[in-house]
Amino acid sequence: MNRWLVVLGAIIVQVNIGAVYAWSLFNQPLAETFGWAREDVVITFSITIAVSAFTTIFAGKLQDKIGPRWVATAGGFLLAAGLLLTSQATTLIEIYLSYGVLAGAGIGMVYVCPLSACVKWFPDKRGLISGIAVGGFGLGGLIFQPVIRFFITNYGVSDTFLYLAIIYFILVIIGAQLLRNPPSEKANDALASNNQVKRNEAKQFSTKEMLRTYPFYLFWFMFLFGSMAGLMVISFAVDIGVDVFQLDVAKAANAVMVIALFNASGRIVLGNLSDHIGRINTLRLIYILTAATLIYMSVGILNYPMFLITTSLMGFCFGGYLAVYPSVTADYYGTKNMGINYGFMYQAYGISSFAGTFILSFFPFSQAFIVAGVLCIVALVMSTFIVTPEKHRRVNFSVKQVDEV
């Protein structure tokens, strides 16, 4: 099988599940239609991200055993079912359960499959391929924005979920059929052509073995701090433009499109860069850029051009985190259990969707930027303690061996 067909399938499914980033388009229409508080509707997005991240653990383990095609297909069914039920929902609890939990679980099942498959097919280009795969996820919100706006305007918010369920179901199922794990001999040939990758693949860690190594926890918290900083700006970009940069809502809203473009490009560019200068060096560069941008947003000159520049940089760096960490997981812990291992790593991203909001509940934007910037500097320092993990072996002595000693 041509391995680029796997990449095509990955892009198709990721663009569709990535439409979750366009959830903000539903907030006001749902609030107006059913008389709900907008703040209560917004919670749906956080539930969806958290559930999807948690689901990657189980989906990753399952796809390691039975392959990505069947797991992604099942995820497509769950996503469509969740949206169908959402189209019939009349209470917030029903929205939380149908979209947040059920559709969120479908997104999590689909998300981990193309990442794991692509990394296995391209051991020589892990950063680039991870970037392309998750780049589709980043573009999903941008591509589906006009589609969602059209449906809401012409058919109402509830029916929009019905039509999206049909679209997602068809395209995700089609894309899922292209997802395959490589035959072992194909993977070995690719590994043999790259000595560095061959050395990295010498040890395949089970999840238990990975969790016994301290580099995993360094990576996990580094991932948490970086993605939290990115989501803090991305999720509240319009509010930041109005409250911090003193812009009107129309100008501040322009950042949404700009962030989506730079988010997607950052995944590809920084993922590819990590193949050439190394994962750790790329992460250090991203953390430096993130910290500097956040500190500037707190103490620098604030105007419309700088608003677009700083939010673009934050989107660019955020995309880099999501592109590099799958490759980090494969490099340090092997590809055999890549699905479930990255599922555990990905929990940092799931928690980050709440962490930024938690910080903002205690601090205004300018102070929250400083806090997030300092945490990125902490992540930068943590990167200096990363070493190649070693498996912890248990030594068992028999009674006869003890007697001989």
Q: What is the pLDDT of residue 393?
A: 57
Q: Is residue 81 included in any domain, yes or no?
A: yes
d(CA 280, CA 383): 7
Within-domain flag for 397: no
Query: Would you state the pLDDT for residue 396?
Result: 47
Same domain, 207 and 127: no
The answer on 366 and 300 residing in a single domain is yes
My answer on whether 362 and 249 are in the same domain is: yes
Q: What pLDDT shows up at residue 155?
A: 96
Q: In this structure, are 138 and 214 located in the same domain?
A: no
> By the 8 A CB rule, do 161 and 83 touch?
yes
Torsion angle of the four alpha carbons 378, 381, 382, 388, in this order, in degrees rounded to the nearest 10: 160
DSSP state of 253: H
| CATH number of the structural domain spanning residue 297 | 1.20.1250.20
Report how far residue 22's alpha carbon sits from residue 18's, in angstroms, rounded to the nearest whole number: 8
Render each residue's pLDDT in the chain as its tens digit; 405 residues. 588 899 999 999 999 998 887 887 888 889 999 999 877 888 898 889 889 989 999 998 898 888 899 999 999 999 999 999 999 999 999 999 999 999 999 999 999 898 888 888 888 888 888 888 888 887 887 888 889 989 999 999 999 999 999 999 999 999 999 999 888 645 544 544 444 444 555 478 999 999 999 999 999 999 999 999 998 888 788 788 888 998 887 788 777 778 888 988 998 999 999 999 999 999 999 999 999 999 999 998 889 999 999 999 999 999 999 999 999 999 999 988 888 999 999 999 888 878 887 888 889 889 999 999 999 999 999 999 999 998 765 544 444 543 444
Q: What radius of gyration, in Å, describes the C-alpha atoms of the chain?
A: 22
Compute the 3-state secondary structure of the chain and give helix, strand, coil in percent, each to the nearest 5: 85, 0, 15
Neighbouring CB atoms inside 10 A of 167's CB total 16
Distance of alpha carbon 347 from alpha carbon 224, whole angstroms: 8
> Contact at 8 Å (CB) between 376 and 204?
no
Task: Identify which of 13, 310, 54, 64 has the alpha carbon closest to the alpha carbon of residue 181.
Answer: 64
Look at the alpha carbons of 173, 175, 181, 182 in this order and tell me if their dihedral is positive or negative.
positive
Same-domain check for residues 185 and 207: no
Short-list 156, 170, 217, CA closest to 347: 217
**What's the pLDDT score for residue 186?**
52
Total domains, the chain: 2
H/E element, 69: helix 68-87
To the nearest 10°, report the CA torsion of 275, 233, 242, 296: -70
Which of 94, 113, 108, 89 is CA-nearest to residue 12?
113
Domain boundary among 171, 199, 227: 199
pLDDT attached to residue 242: 85
* Structural domain of 135: 1-199
Is-contact 195 256, C-beta < 8 A? no
Asked whether residue 222 falls in the same domain as residue 146, the answer is: no
What pLDDT is attached to residue 196?
47
* Amino acid identity for residue 227 in this structure: S
Residue 401 lies in a domain: no
Can you give the pTM of this predicted structure?
A: 0.81
At 276, give phi and psi (nearest 5°).
-100, -40
